[in-house]
């Protein structure tokens, strides 16, 4: 068995049986071995970036480690943006690159040249900041050891992507010895006593507690237990975007998603809590705002996370922290004392939910007499199956989606930390290939959609029934809104100089169905059933994200600004000073 | 003047007045400043990768430093493959990325987290292996110093790309002090005495000398002086691919391009020389073959290069080396003694040229009764202006181009070292914007063209008259040929699983003209004049690259294999042992 065959056999054994790739000279032996392996199949993408993004979506969809394969040089560097999607969102994925023969490599010559072999590139050094582990293997023995090690690293602790760089000579070398499979890595510390005591103390003292549900809960697969505990404990909870996909939004304790684009009610309750328990969320700047000191002022914040480094970062915030492998989180929660929120707090939380949850409206669309993106999202939500998989791209479109979509048995995901334009199409392909029997919705803006539209060829050639929604506002809307706030509504490169093709003609070119949506009623269940289609939703160029936080304010004081009475009502327990100058509600652009 | 305005003013002062970009939150202040600057203009691309590739093409076309600008995270990482094009080919280019506010960055918190600010990514660490210099600026003063320093590094010595990462707070900070412009860097050593002596000794002893013309000659802008010296010295010369663009191929001393895909005659003469003088070429593996010991056996090889590291790598080859800043090369050549090649050598070189130069033919196309790619290239060559700019993509199409195209006043370039699929369209856009009055031909294969086809929107929206040739063999032809040789003609992922759209419908979708070429006569000068057009050249799937070297052989023994008499005639002076097993001339695929 040569190295290439060993890799193929390894993939089959660990169940990563579908490889996403684009071929090239330096990976040809590996692809040949994949092609010859009876248990493996592969899908050709039209750009390696898409192969890596699709591999990222495999785990999100099916809890199997996705695999991309690419050639050296540009093949490998084209993977990078996709790999970063996995890294920042803690998604395990395996990326295998071909490298030039070692005797052709620059290391062999002992001189520090830019490149020796054709398309030789130091991909391992380049991806180190965005992988949990990356290594070039220099012998058959290293291939055996490193493949098992890398895979194990990807799926253990705080998960993430890994990369193995395989020189052509190692692809062809005869492998001696048995297959080494990745060792199972148990939690570093099975003892949860410290965490139970610390969290118990926090919870016992809480009169106005709230839980922030983070993506880490679902990554560890313990969402059912946590949802059950929240219902029993009667502690209200809010969610990060990464967390939204892991529970039924009809959960009685759920108040909405928080942050810069958060639900007003959810933001109010969080900001008025005396205790915030954060379960598996890294509290990035889109949650706490750019100024973390405005977050939950006066509350005890207690963060539970698997990653020690994420906990260290709160040293100046005065947060309490507990490091827990989330596979053990149910055990921790089961051992906690009962919570005893004040009845007044529970009532207030209920009122905020009543008043704000599910009520996002577009005042800009109303003024412009155009389609409200929130109505569109809700209409899509109602038109698709309860277990459809919806994948968001980025920008304004992504905000609208997370603000208005309600999860039942759906999956709702995006590459939140990296948030590249062009993720939602290749990820939808990865999802469809992983879960062929579920409805897949790739949900995009017109700007972001263009970056990987070459993958429409993959959709067509593989005959994948994916519904591709384009929220078409003819611009990079989120940048325009930023320019409204801080750059005098000068729309350089967001509208001026920006352009997009006619997506109807694009659909025609690739042989896909097309629907131009100008009225809500055109969005029907039939659109999402059994076919590849581009659903081009016509929005006004000046449709805003509402609500949205502007710089320097706490997350409970978003644009469009509430009047003083509503603001006071929301801040029932904590006094948030309000910066004096309020921006105009009506923008020059709208 | 704030940081963003300082950057814009700097670009105007150094003459890099056209910025290629895609906007985003973290670069919005810089783009606003570019937009407001009266001497700058910008072009919006549909993927940052294309912006970086187009910036690379600016210097190749107009000897001005091209500039790309992108946002943090995926914006920055999307530049990488384009930046690598500049690095491996020694092209100066400047890439400016936005970064998150420093107080939102992970460094601020002192913990080693994956990401702190939204879309925060350690781009400087990631691009270090593919840039001459990369730095994040942390203050206004650093911005002043580093911008000048980076620009200067890019254009001096062995040139290359640089990257400056600018946090949002530095974009907005008030800059104190005058504009710092890049210092002119003189050659490290003005004294060429050593080089003259060493080269003079090599040349004086040469009976069968040949010069290998490398890209470094043109990068330094001394091609006229070198061409003149070659004519005077009556030393025959061959060229690397990177060198081909810098001289008139009617030069009497020119014998053709060499290497794995080299002209047979040029390869024979080089391999039979007793002295090879290499001027500004790094002798990569596509020139010497994978086994450098098969290169110019028995010859004294003397390499002249600006980069000390490139010279160090020959320590095991026993080559002579001279380090020279190529701005001083004319001074070196002028001081050399006259060369005195044997008349027999000159006659032999002439015979080889007579027999092989300009005679590439496609035996595979002839057998298949399909278009010969060599005829197509020659027909294009004859149909375009003598000063047209032709940009090759990669793969088989690129080989055919370099094998058959003759340069008059043309420019002929590609990103040779990195050689990514999808280079030729964005580079053509960069070239057109730099040299609007010249004909531009973007020359692609059907596989590579797909990777950045979203830029057809840029072509259309900017109304750029670019002729886009697609050598359409419905597969990754160069990989198929590799599979023919080494993988039993199993066409996994090169033909099987590969697909491409109907380029006529793609042209229609983007509102461009289209011509499907099935006969040579359809290629006429009118196609290349004053319009954007896709010229879709229909080739057989089984069209081969001929000649092409297979593994383990010297470059003068290419497939299809010459008979013993012709082989002996070519190797008139040096005895090259011929590996016993010859591959079949007719492949299973053809």
pLDDT > 50? residue A584: no
Question: Do B35 and B156 fall within a single domain?
Answer: yes
User: Chain A residues with CB inside 8 Å of B494's CB?
Assistant: 23
DSSP state of A543: P
Strand partners, A134: A163
Chain A residues with CB-CB distance to B113 below 8 A = 282, 307, 309-310, 313
Q: What is the pLDDT of residue A589?
A: 41
Report the residue of chain B nearest A108, measured CA to CA: B313
Residue of A497, A511, A514, A536 best to disrupt the B interface, most CBs of B under 10 A = A497
Could you read off the pLDDT of A101-119 as tens digits, one per residue?
999 888 877 889 999 889 9
- A333 and A432 share a domain? no
pLDDT-flagged residues of chain B (< 50): 584-590
Q: Between chains, do A21 and B493 touch, taking CB under 8 Å as contact?
A: yes
Minimum distance, in Å, between the CA of residue A351 and any CA atom of chain B: 32
Buried b / exposed e along A49-84 (16+ C-beta atoms within 10 A): bbbbbbbbbbbbbbeebbbbbbbbbbbbbbbbbbbb
Q: Is residue A574 part of a domain?
A: no
Q: Are residues B135 and B230 in the same domain?
A: no
Q: Which residues of A touch B46 (CB under 8 A)?
A: 450-451
Q: Say yes or no: B457 and B346 in one domain.
A: no
Q: Of A20, A57, A13, A21, give the one whose Cα is nearest residue A37.
A: A13
Q: Which of B27, B444, B501 to mutate to test the interface with A (most CBs of A within 10 A)?
A: B501
pTM: 0.97
| Cα gap B464→B469, rounded to integer Å | 15
Q: Which of B78, B286, B492 comes nearest A32 by C-beta? A: B492
Residue A300 lies in a domain: yes
Q: Which two tokens stand for residue B278?
A: 């290499």
Quick one: A438 and A499 in the same domain?
Answer: yes
Looking at beta carbons, which residues of chain B come within 8 Å of A167? none
Distance CA A93, CA A57 (A): 9
Shortest CA gap B203–chain A (Å): 27
Phi then psi for A293, rounded to 5 degrees? -70, -15
Is position B390 within any domain? yes
Any domain includes A488: yes
Residue A196 pLDDT > 80: yes
Element (H, E) at B379: helix B373-383
Average pLDDT score over residue span A458-487: 97
Q: Is the ipTM of this complex over 0.95?
A: yes
Contact status, residue B441 vs residue B528, Cβ threshold 8 Å: yes
Residue A290: per-residue pLDDT:
86
Q: Which residue's entry shows tokens 């320093």?
A: B149
Distance of residue B399 Cα from the nearest chain A Cα, in angstroms: 14
Domain count along chain A: 3
User: What's the longest Cα–Cα distance across chain A?
Assistant: 76
Chain A residue with CA closest to B37: the answer is A492
Task: Tell whether A586 is covered by a domain.
Answer: no
Q: Where are the alpha helices (DSSP H) in B183-338?
A: 193-204, 215-219, 223-233, 264-272, 285-288, 308-312, 329-334
How many residues comprise chain A? Answer: 590
Least confident of A47-56, A246-255, B107-116: B107-116
Residue of B118, B458, B462 to mutate when probing chain A, most A C-beta within 10 A: B118
pLDDT at A378 over 60: yes
B216, B329 in Cβ contact below 8 A?
A: no
Instruction: Based on the fold, state whether residues A329 and A383 are members of the same structural domain.
Output: no
Q: Which residue of B has its CA nearest to A512?
A: B501
Q: With bands split at pLDDT 50, 70 and 90, how would you rate the model's confidence at A581? A: low
Q: How confident is the model at residue A588 (pLDDT cuts 50, 70, 90)?
A: very low
Q: pLDDT at position A315, please?
A: 87
Q: Is the pLDDT of residue A301 over 60?
A: yes
Among B289, B291, B261, CA closest to B548: B261
pLDDT of residue B583: 52
Chain A environment of B481 (Cβ under 8 Å):
none
Q: What is the mean pLDDT of residues A535-561?
A: 95
Given B331, B356, B381, the domain boundary residue is: B356
B91 contact partners, CB below 8 Å, separation of at least 6: B56, B59, B60, B85, B159, B160, B161, B219
Distance (Å) from the C-alpha of residue A397 to the closest C-alpha of chain B? 14
Neighbours of B174 (CB within 10 A): 10
Q: Would the CB atoms of A417 and B114 count as touching at under 8 Å?
A: yes
CB spacing of A116 vs B313 below 8 angstroms: yes
Give the tens place of pLDDT for each residue, A494-543: 999 999 999 999 999 999 999 999 999 999 999 999 999 999 999 999 99
Q: Are residues A332 and A404 in the same domain?
A: no
CA–CA gap between residue A209 and residue A187 (Å, rounded) = 28
A33 in a domain, yes or no? yes
**Does pLDDT of A586 surpass 50?**
no
Mean pLDDT computed over every residue of chain A: 96
CA-CA distance, A425 to A443, in Å (whole number)? 8
> What is the crossing angle of helices B3-14 and B140-155, to 10°?
20
B443 min Cα distance to partner chain A (Å): 18
Residue B406 within a domain: yes
How many of the other CB atoms lie within 10 Å of CB of A150?
23
* Chain B: closest CA distance from residue A475 (Å): 11
CA-CA distances (angstroms) from residue A461 to A457, A512, A528, A568?
A: 6, 11, 19, 57
- Which residues on chain A are in Cβ contact (under 8 Å) with B32? 483, 487, 490, 492
**Are residues A489 and A541 in contact, defined by beta-carbon separation less than 8 angstroms?**
no
B487 and B411 in a single domain? The answer is yes
CATH code of the domain containing A505: 3.40.50.970
Averaged pLDDT, A289-310: 95
Partner residue opposite A46 with nearest CB, options B450, B482, B487: B450
Identify whether residues B504 and B530 lie together within a single domain: yes
Looking at the complex, report in whole angstroms how far the Cα of residue B291 sits from the nearest Cα belonging to chain A: 8
Tell me, what's the pLDDT at A110? Answer: 81
Beta carbons of B479 and A28 less than 8 Å apart:
yes
Asked if residue A529 is part of any domain, the answer here is yes
Same domain for A199 and A150? no
Tallying the residues shown for chain B, one arrives at 590
CATH number at residue B326: 3.40.50.1220
Same domain, residue pair B387 and B494: yes
Confidence at A590, pLDDT banded by 50, 70, 90: very low
**pLDDT tens per residue, range A121-138:** 999 999 999 999 999 999
- Which residues from chain B sit within 8 angstroms of residue A127, using beta carbons? 126
Domain that holds residue B146: 3-172
Provide the shortest C-alpha distance from residue B341 to chain A (in Å).
32
Residue-wise DSSP of A57-121: HHHHHHSS-EEEEE-TTHHHHHHHHHHHHHHHTT--EEEEEEE--GGGSHHHHTS--S--STT--
Asked whether residue B405 falls in the same domain as residue B488, the answer is yes
User: Could you say which of B172, B201, B228 is where a domain stops?
Assistant: B172
| B73 contacts in chain A (CB < 8 Å) | 84, 418-420
Considering A356, A387, A406, which residue would you say is the last residue of a domain?
A356
């Amino acid at each position: 068995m040569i190295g290439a065959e060993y890799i193929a056999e390894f993939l089959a054994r660990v169940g990563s049986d579908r490889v996403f790739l684009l071929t090239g000279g330096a990976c040809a032996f590996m692809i040949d071995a994949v092609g010859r392996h009876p248990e493996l199949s592969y899908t050709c993408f039209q750009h390696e970036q898409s192969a890596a993004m699709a591999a990222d979506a495999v785990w999100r969809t099916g809890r199997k480690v996705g695999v991309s394969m690419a050639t050296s040089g540009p093949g490998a560097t084209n993977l990078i943006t996709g790999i970063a999607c996995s890294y920042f969102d803690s998604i395990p994925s395996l990326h295998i690159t071909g490298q030039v023969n070692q005797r052709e490599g620059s290391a062999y010559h002992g001189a520090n040249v830019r490149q020796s072999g054709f398309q030789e590139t130091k991909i391992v050094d380049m991806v180190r900041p965005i992988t949990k582990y990356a290594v070039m293997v220099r012998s058959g023995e290293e291939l055996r050891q490193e493949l098992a090690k890398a895979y194990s690293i990807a799926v253990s602790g705080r998960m993430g992507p890994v990369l193995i760089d395989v020189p052509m000579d190692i692809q062809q070398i005869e492998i001696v010895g048995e297959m080494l499979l990745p060792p199972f890595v148990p939690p570093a510390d099975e003892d949860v006593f410290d965490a139970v005591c610390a969290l118990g103390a926090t919870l016992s003292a809480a009169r106005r507690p709230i839980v922030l549900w983070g993506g880490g809960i679902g990554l560890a697969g313990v969402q059912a237990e946590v949802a059950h505990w929240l219902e029993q404990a009667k502690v209200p909870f809010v969610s990060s975007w990464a967390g939204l996909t892991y529970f039924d939004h009809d959960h009685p304790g759920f108040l909405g998603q928080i942050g810069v684009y958060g639900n007003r009610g959810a933001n109010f309750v969080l900001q008025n809590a005396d205790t915030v328990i954060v379960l598996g969320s890294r509290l990035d700047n889109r949650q706490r705002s750019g100024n973390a000191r405005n977050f939950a002022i006066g509350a005890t914040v207690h963060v539970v996370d698997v990653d020690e480094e994420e906990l260290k970062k709160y040293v100046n915030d005065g947060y309490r922290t507990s490091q827990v492998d989330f596979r053990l989180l149910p055990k921790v929660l089961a051992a906690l004392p009962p919570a005893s929120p004040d009845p007044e707090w529970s009532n207030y939380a209920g009122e905020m939910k009543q008043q704000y949850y599910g009520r996002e409206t577009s005042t800009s669309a109303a003024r412009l007499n155009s389609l409200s993106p929130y109505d569109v999202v809700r209409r899509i939500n109602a038109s698709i199956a309860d277990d459809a998989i919806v994948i968001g791209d980025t920008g304004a479109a992504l905000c609208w989606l997370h603000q208005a979509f309600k999860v039942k048995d759906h999956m709702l995901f995006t590459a939140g930390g990296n948030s590249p334009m062009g993720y939602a199409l290749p990820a939808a392909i990865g999802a469809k290939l992983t879960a062929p029997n579920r409805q897949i919705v790739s949900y995009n803006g017109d700007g972001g959609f263009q970056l990987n539209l070459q993958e429409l060829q993959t959709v067509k050639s593989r005959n994948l029934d994916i519904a591709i929604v384009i929220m078409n506002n003819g611009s990079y809307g989120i940048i325009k809104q930023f320019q409204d706030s801080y750059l005098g509504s000068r729309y350089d490169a967001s509208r001026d100089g920006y352009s997009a093709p006619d997506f109807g003609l694009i659909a025609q070119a690739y042989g896909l169905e097309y629907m131009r949506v100008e009225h809500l009623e055109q969005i029907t269940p039939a659109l999402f059933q059994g076919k590849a289609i581009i659903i081009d939703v016509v929005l006004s160029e000046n449709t805003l994200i509402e609500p949205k936080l502007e710089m320097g304010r706490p997350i409970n004081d978003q644009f469009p600004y509430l009047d003083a009475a509503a603001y006071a009502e929301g801040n029932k327990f904590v006094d948030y000073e309000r910066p004096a100058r309020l921006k105009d509600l009506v923008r020059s652009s709208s």
